[in-house]
Amino acid sequence: MKKILQALVGICLLAGLGVLLWFATKAPPLVVQGEVSTNRVDISPRVGGRVAKLNVDVGDIVKQADVIAILESPQLTASMHMADAALAVSEADLVRVNSTRPERIDAAKAELAAANADVVLYQEEAARQARLISTGASTQSQVDQTNRNLDAAIRKRESADANLRLAVAGSSKEEKALAATQVEQARASLNQQQVDVAELTIHASISGQITTRVAELGENFAAGAPLFSIVDIEHPWFTFNLREDLLKGLKIGDRFHVTVPALGAEKVEVKVTVLNAQGQYATWRATRATGDFDLRTFEVRAEPVDPPAGLRPGMSVLASWPFEDL
């Protein structure tokens, strides 16, 4: 019995020594460090102007479409008024070419009536000359003159009738189409000027927190110059840069746990949303001339399933690799 107990003790000692040796030689889990990231938007005006009003400052929380600044530009305002006046002129011209003054129509009618009277008069004169020449009381030259006068009166009546129809119809179809096109052109120009003036009011394009303010009252800014930076703190994600040999088995939708040192030891569950290869500059070069190869670096992006309070862009995040809780 004593020998059996000694054998069991020896076996237990050997087993314990083996366990200790296994733990001593076991490689520790790889800990990778990432960073908290969020969407950042730089707000800049589409048109240039001078800062007339600032409604927010660094640290303020804004909602999408909130007015955060107002610019002023006398040049744009003057251009809008000029475009408005040009539209009024073109609309007036369109009315003009589509209408005729009543006095002109009355004058054309009077001219036609006078021409009709002349035709009737010369027709009667021609009939009288025809009777007189048959009796020898008139000459052929007088008859010819009367006929020429009648023909001229008929031509004059035709001209007066055409003038009356022209007065009633107004301008030609081409002139009316040109005037209508000029109205549309002037209206489009005015709309463009109004849009430019409206762009002087700067709105927040996303909801978030103001992290940078470049704008100062009275300062002039050109189109495209940044005024503010807004960070979407409500939708953060974690970014890790890993060698491709560490990605075995990782796929979109996988979940694991990370810790954010700035927020304590509480574990945060995340879900993989992006796996992107980085550029050639982010390549792990082989350390041996033969028997090795270069390794690409991949961006792994993961979103927190339930974002913890106080998560801020730039905070460090730690994760064991492969997926093991820290």
Question: Same structural domain for residues 112 and 260?
Answer: no
Write the CATH number for 225. 2.40.50.100
pLDDT for residue 18: 63
Cα-Cα end-to-end distance for the chain: 47
Question: Same structural domain for residues 95 and 174?
Answer: yes
What residue has token string 């908290």? 36
* Higher per-residue confidence, 282 vs 194: 194
List pLDDT tens digits, range 2-54: 667 666 666 777 666 665 655 555 555 678 889 999 999 999 999 999 999 99
Domain containing residue 136: 84-195
Instruction: Encode 39-51: b = buried (16+ Cβ within 10 Å), e = exposed.
Output: eeeebebebbbeb
Say if 12 falls within a structural domain: no
Question: Same structural domain for residues 110 and 123?
Answer: yes
Q: What is the mean pLDDT of residues 273-284?
A: 71
Instruction: Identify the burial level of 99 via C-beta atoms within 10 angstroms of its C-beta, where 0-12 means exposed, 13-18 middle and 19 or more buried.
Output: exposed
Question: Same structural domain for residues 295 and 149?
Answer: no
The alpha carbon of residue 296 and the mean position of all alpha carbons in its chain are separated, in whole angstroms, by 37
Query: 113 is written with which tokens?
Result: 């009536």
Say if 7 falls within a structural domain: no
Question: Same structural domain for residues 257 and 284?
Answer: yes
Question: Same structural domain for residues 122 and 176?
Answer: yes
List pLDDT tens digits, range 164-178: 777 776 667 888 889
Question: Same structural domain for residues 162 and 110?
Answer: yes
- In sequence order, the 6+-apart residues with CB closer than 8 A to the CB of 213 are 54, 56, 57, 58, 227, 228
Question: Same structural domain for residues 262 and 174?
Answer: no
Write the CATH number for 249. 2.40.30
Q: What domain count does the chain have? A: 3
Confidence band for 326, pLDDT divided at 50, 70 and 90:
very low
The pLDDT > 70 percentage for the chain reads: 83
Query: Which of 197, 192, 261 is CA-nearest to residue 35?
Result: 261
Say if 32 falls within a structural domain: no
